[in-house]
Structure 1
């Protein structure tokens, strides 16, 4: 088992000071590097759903189409526009909206607007709510502009903590701060989930971490409705991943098509790896136990995380 890397993440790494498998091929001990386990990255990805006509002229390398899974378990697609005519769209959204509210000229404002709508839709919408959410989020931005103007007239700072405008997404209301912070948490949690197949036990631990980080944040910072939306969306995404894991026989056939020779030789002495020479989690009950263990961690508390590590042993 290669424990020096985790798919889609450099923030949380599994490591061990001894071989993970003993002479019988069983896991002996697995630990986590906790140095960044509680960290939430600010993943600034600009995306949109509905493009202005000018987008027809954007080079294809500046566009990213991403499939997302909502709380209903169904997929929908959002589109990212990271650069327009050589200009990277990396300005802070609040700065962009505040400048526009004050009547200032903002280059490519329509793209920033649509990118913000898509970023929020990506993390909180589902296939049935998407169209209504797009309209609702844009209305929220219009309402935000009015609040910003009013605050300026009264000499009130337009810090994100001071803004009370509500944004309604998938039937749930958020302030701008709640929406932006929650979106960052969802981005980070999703970034540590392996979606490329080939699931080993540490991938199930990663999925547990993703669920646990979302739940820990939501429980301490959001109301009950908001918590439910974040947790149900993350759970649906994890379920989508686990449901897509192929049978071992199918995976071996896929590897053979890539000229990677793997023999379907069972290992009766191993409780955790049923096929020799293939590092795949074949004990589904244990894999689920690992995921549940890390999903129930309080990620604002290092002791809770360390307790889960102690449980993650054979």
Structure 2
């Protein structure tokens, strides 16, 4: 083992750090800022998602992890090794420990499934017997042992991506980069591939950094997420926190595409036409109990009806938003809304019709 490989192996448990990283590309006579002073800490062993629209800087940022892009300023550390300062020779050990899965699979059409998985091992100089055993092990793990002698054109999209994942895991990396790994797949196949990625994380202990534009993917597999826009991190946190209480407009847009808990403008117009009472929107959490408040208000003549919303579970926690129509004496309705606000976020979205 070389000195570079030894240093890298000793630091494998320390995760990935982006320290005030920027990347500027020159396009003609102008400069384009692709990544703008990003700082992130990705602990080893978790699934970390980066979400944003096209041009947000996700792919550029992730390509810095294996040294395919170098930052214009700042530092990128992988397992304690400053990747951003390494020469090409020093990057070999890093790249051997960072696998990558692509949106369009990038398989060799002229090689069999087994041949595709074996390719990086052959390049790395593994002996034939060891390659064969490793390929068999990986194809069994991804559920494609029976397809070893098939060619990519004989496979479905989901099967091709499973081959891509097996190939990315060939050298036993501790980090896997998944660049829009499910974007080319149908919903059912996407679920299968996401389950496999979760198994890669939980069973093999591989840290996964997933680039996506789908909050459904984030919800399905990620532990934490960073929302990017125009090269900056707009918001970052646990998946639960971002879903339950998005702070930025772009995060609310992404969450709103997956969840329909809070009423949208068109919902409000419809609800206002059907329900003459005060409509209040109330956030729901595991530690929020509005039932006793409603029961107490009922004694004062306040009637309620659920008119919109829903409750979901994520990362073993419950969250959601429900909208209620309240009818009764104005002061009692107002008092109930005030009591809601003492225990959770509550907003009057429509006053009672006069």
TM-score of the superposition, structure 1-length normalised?
0.28
Structure of greater Rg: 2
Q: Which has the higher helix share?
A: 1
- Indicate the structure whose relative CO is greater, using CA pairs within 8 Å and at least 6 residues apart: 1
